[in-house]
Structure 1
Amino acid sequence: MFHKVERPTTSQVIRNQILAAITAGTLKPGQRVPPERELSAMFVVSRPALREGLNALVLAGILERRGSQGTFVAESLNTSILGSSMQLVPVRAAREAIEIIEARRVIECELARLAAERRTDDDLDAMARLLEQLGDCEDDNPRRAPLDFDFHAALGAAAHSGILHSLQLSLGQKVLAIMRKAIYRPKANADGHREHTGIFTAIRDGQGERAARIMKEHLEKLEDGVRIHMETHAVFAAHGESDDV
């Protein structure tokens, strides 16, 4: 019924204020965000805390960096679509997804390590086929989500550890619907594909510790994406975009 009330971090407050400015139309798609020095003075925060907040929004595809030009609200961002997309996954479901991802991180890092030791040629072929299919659908979230699940499942099978693999599949099924609707954004898709490729390469080359490390980083980024979704949902709800909690 209840859950722990957590104090927002400085970077979360920064993210929420920037999201609120985008929602209100103060910051528009394609518009340049003030330089870090100005933002740091406006928020009265340190530059590292500011960068953490900005980096999270870049990861979510809401902001984009253009080299020396600075940071901009993503050109392709449609605030009405973003607002409606937040309605698709309730905060309570996203909160559950975070707990699932935490469990997956423990299980799948070990599966990646074991897969590097035990994989067969058939296992590698199955993973390689799925990796190629994932690369062909970076902009097709409904298609990509089940392929992502299948890739992780193939990795789990390559570990040849029945109980761990069963746990992985059970957890993966629970989060699949949420991944399909709300997690993926263009930059996250591209980053995810690079991480999948790194995991596959490490497993193929028998580098178990490297495979586990990349898997850990991959799932931590996914967890960050879910947290940003929850915070974005809260901002849109505060502005009347969604009633789902």
Structure 2
Amino acid sequence: MSEALRPMVKSRLYEQVLDRLREYVAEADLHAGDRLPAERDLATRLGVSRASVKQAIVVLEVQGLVEARHGGGTYLVRDTLDVEPVEQLVERRKRLPDVLEAREALETKLAELAAERRTDAELEDIRQALGFMSDEIAGGGFGVEGDRRFHAAVTAAAHSSLLADFMKTIAGQITESRNESLRQPGRPSRSLAQHTAIYDAIAAGEPKKAAAAMRKHVRTVAKVRLLDWVPED
């Protein structure tokens, strides 16, 4: 069947608001830390309801592009509003709970095994991943690569080829959940602290503490704005 005759998708009004806000930020040369106009002013200038503006702002929050401060306005977190298509957000929201459930089951066991089986060289790999993540965050980043290296090093230290294979099969979804989590306000530094607790337990050779620390960490990863978002029709 011709692609030209695929089902048509009705554009939501708040998606049009998102397009206009992206254009406005670029034209006004706004940057991270700058404040957007008040919702009431945006609604008046765009000729839409305040509800449509509020829906657009929520989508921007979900994507970590703005921070809405209670009673203090809405501020840019990044220099641009490169908004992910809403349909992609909806699909990722559907996938995320299953991915997080699998991560908790797999990574808790991997941390436990790593505390039992790791070599000194593997412990050093985990420590170096922590240092890399710390440097990323200190430089203003989210610590994404350091996070990836840390969990990869823990997996290697567990010496379980089957669990490692399971992790590989969901590597793409894990990357999604990692990016989703680390763009939450204040999350990178909190994640680093939790990684340190996991490392300490593995270094001390305490499997139960390592498993508990990893479980706490993955449950923190699961606390993301996306899962609280209810897509508007």
SS in 1 for 2:205: coil
Per-residue Cα deviation, 1:44-94 (whole angstroms, up to 9, x for no partner): xxxxxxxxxxxxx9xx89578xxxxxxx56888428989755648512113
Provide the residue aligned with 1:103 in structure 2. Answer: 102
Structure 1 distance, partners of 2:181, 2:206, is 32
Provide the residue aligned with 2:135 in structure 1. Answer: 136
Provide the residue aligned with 1:231 in structure 2. Answer: 228
Structure 1 distance, partners of 2:98, 2:124, is 31
Structure 2 distance, partners of 1:24, 1:134, is 36
Per-residue Cα deviation, 1:13-32 (whole angstroms, up to 9, x for no partner): xxxxxxxxx99737xxxxxx
Q: Which amino acid aligns with 1:78?
A: L
Deviation at 1:104, TM superposition (A): 1.1
Per-residue Cα deviation, 1:139-191 (whole angstroms, up to 9, x for no partner): 323xx323312210110110111101121232233231453367423411110
TM-score by length of 2: 0.62
Q: CA distance change for structure 1 residues 137 and 93 in 2, over 3 Å: closer, same or farther?
A: same
Q: Is the 8 A contact 1:135 1:193 kept in 2?
A: yes
Provide the residue aligned with 1:33 in structure 2. Answer: none
Q: Which amino acid aligns with 2:189?
A: A
Q: Which amino acid aligns with 1:113?
A: E
Q: Is the 8 A contact 1:156 1:165 kept in 2?
A: yes
- Runs of 5+ in structure 1 lacking a partner? 1-21, 27-56, 65-71
Structure 2 distance, partners of 1:75, 1:134, is 31
Q: Is the 8 A contact 1:182 1:229 kept in 2?
A: no
Q: Is the 8 A contact 1:86 1:182 kept in 2?
A: no
Per-residue Cα deviation, 1:117-146 (whole angstroms, up to 9, x for no partner): 1000110111111100001112323xx323
Provide the residue aligned with 2:201 in structure 1. Answer: 202
Q: Which has the higher contact order (CA 8 A, sep 6+)?
A: 1
Q: Is the 8 A contact 1:85 1:182 kept in 2?
A: no
Which of 17, 39, 58 aligns to 1:25? It is: 39
Aligned length: 172
Say which one has the larger Rg. 2
Question: Which consecutive segments of 4 or more residues in structure 1 shift more than 3 A?
Answer: 22-26, 60-64, 72-77, 79-89, 177-183
Structure 2 distance, partners of 1:86, 1:161, is 37
Q: CA distance change for structure 1 residues 127 and 101 in 2, over 3 Å: closer, same or farther?
A: same
Structure 2 distance, partners of 1:102, 1:209, is 19
Deviation at 1:214, TM superposition (A): 1.1
Provide the residue aligned with 1:78 in structure 2. Answer: 76
Please state if 1:126 is matched with 2:140: no
Higher mean C-alpha displacement, 77-86 vs 188-197: 77-86
Identity of aligned residues (%): 24
